[in-house]
């Protein structure tokens, strides 16, 4: 356990302190500095509380210990090596400041900012960055895996908690594999590849959902969560968001930035009118959601590619091992025979 704590902490600190190259990235960090999330402060407090989390004392720590044992058992059932140890804390994760160019949808930069931010502070930070001719968005995260223990949003719904715990742990598990290490390098701005980011995020999401269903089946039989269909109300959110993304891409490909931004605001109002509280719909929104290939705001084929490979894999372990060893999207295509 000691080795994993040290390694994760080093990765975390190095990721935070290593500046990305370029004047724009330097400017972004200068603007975001007053809102910066303090890794050192959080890690010191969290690591000091580890004995309580591991022993599972009274109250919430006991609930965490029970969930931890259940998740470890199901990972073991699937022959997945539990390293680093599964440790998490129910707490509010930091926000993520996402920055994209205005003329195309792509991660230009992403910066962690503190957990507690008012909407006024978010808008102020975004306004200053947008003044540089960029598109920005402060995103609320449901979980965060670059700390040890991982952070899991303080949710009351177990159907959200279990897959989030697993997903954030899988990010740590993958750091010790080629795919995850390349994702780490991307986070540090050393070797950037959006395909690597998307493969990592999508793999972690897929596997965490599959294993969480096994946790439910083993420990909470008959109580498996039922996801609501977004089409039930007559408004298909997924289809509308996919169409929105495609049309925005078309506008931008034609150099029609103002038209794209006006269209996004109009669509945002439509989504809000149907009960989807989207504070801002812009290039940065799609840059963030676009790396999750299963998300309707993404146009990446990687989710379908990984589903195809999973259907050909005899087990979760073999699927994870195969994808985790990949170093490029080309390797995924080769595995599929393309």
pLDDT at 224 over 80: no
Q: Tokens for 22?
A: 């370029």
Domain assignment of residue 82, yes or no:
yes
Q: What is the pLDDT of residues 60-95, one digit of tens each?
A: 567 788 999 999 999 999 999 999 999 998 999 999
Least confident range from 97-101, 107-111, 280-284: namely 107-111
pLDDT at 12 over 60: no
Domain assignment of residue 226, yes or no:
no
pLDDT for the residue 1: 40
Domain assignment of residue 46, yes or no:
yes
pLDDT for the residue 19: 45
Domain assignment of residue 223, yes or no:
no
Domain assignment of residue 56, yes or no:
yes
pTM of the predicted model as reported, rounded to 2 decimal places: 0.88
CA distance 255 to 207: 38
CA distance 284 to 11: 26
Report, as an integer, the average pLDDT of 129-139: 97
Domain assignment of residue 258, yes or no:
no
Residue 130 sits in which domain range?
Answer: 2-192
Report, as an integer, the average pLDDT of 157-177: 93
CA distance 294 to 144: 19
Domain assignment of residue 270, yes or no:
no
Domain assignment of residue 175, yes or no:
yes
Report, as an integer, the average pLDDT of 126-152: 95
Domains contained in the chain, number: 1
Q: What is the pLDDT of residues 27-47, one digit of tens each?
A: 999 999 999 999 888 888 887
Helix residue ranges, H only, 177-224: 178-187, 194-219
């Amino acid at each position: 356990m000691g080795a994993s704590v040290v390694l994760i902490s080093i990765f975390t600190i190095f990721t935070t302190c290593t500046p990305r190259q370029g004047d724009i990235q330097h400017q972004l960090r200068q603007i975001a500095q007053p809102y910066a999330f303090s890794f050192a402060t959080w890690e010191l407090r969290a690591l000091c509380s580890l004995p309580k989390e591991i022993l599972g004392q009274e109250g919430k720590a006991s609930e965490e210990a029970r969930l931890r044992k259940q998740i470890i058992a199901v990972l073991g059932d699937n022959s997945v090596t539990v390293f680093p140890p599964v440790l998490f804390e129910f707490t509010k994760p930091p926000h993520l400041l996402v920055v994209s160019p205005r003329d195309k949808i792509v991660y230009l930069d992403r910066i962690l900012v503190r957990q507690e931010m008012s909407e006024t502070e978010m808008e102020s930070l975004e306004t200053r960055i947008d003044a540089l001719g960029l598109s920005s968005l402060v995103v609320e995260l449901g979980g965060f895996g670059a700390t040890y223990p991982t952070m899991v949003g303080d949710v009351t719904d177990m159907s959200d908690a279990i897959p989030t715990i697993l997903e954030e742990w899988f990010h740590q598990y993958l750091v010790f594999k080629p795919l995850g290490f390349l994702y780490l390098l991307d986070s540090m701005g050393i070797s950037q590849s959006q395909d690597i980011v998307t493969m990592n995020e999508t793999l972690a999401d897929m596997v965490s959902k599959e294993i969480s269903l096994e946790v439910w089946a083993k420990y909470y039989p008959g109580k498996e969560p039922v996801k609501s269909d977004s089409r039930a109300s007559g408004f298909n959110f997924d289809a509308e968001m996919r169409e929105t993304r495609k049309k925005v891409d078309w506008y931008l490909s034609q150099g029609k930035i103002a038209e794209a931004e006006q269209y996004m605001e109009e669509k945002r109002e439509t989504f809000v009118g149907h009960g989807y509280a989207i504070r801002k719909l812009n290039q940065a929104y799609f840059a963030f959601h676009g790396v999750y290939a299963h998300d309707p705001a993404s146009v990446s084929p990687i989710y379908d590619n990984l589903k195809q490979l999973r259907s050909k894999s005899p087990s979760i372990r073999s699927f994870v091992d195969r994808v985790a060893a990949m170093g490029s999207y080309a390797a995924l295509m080769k595995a599929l025979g393309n």
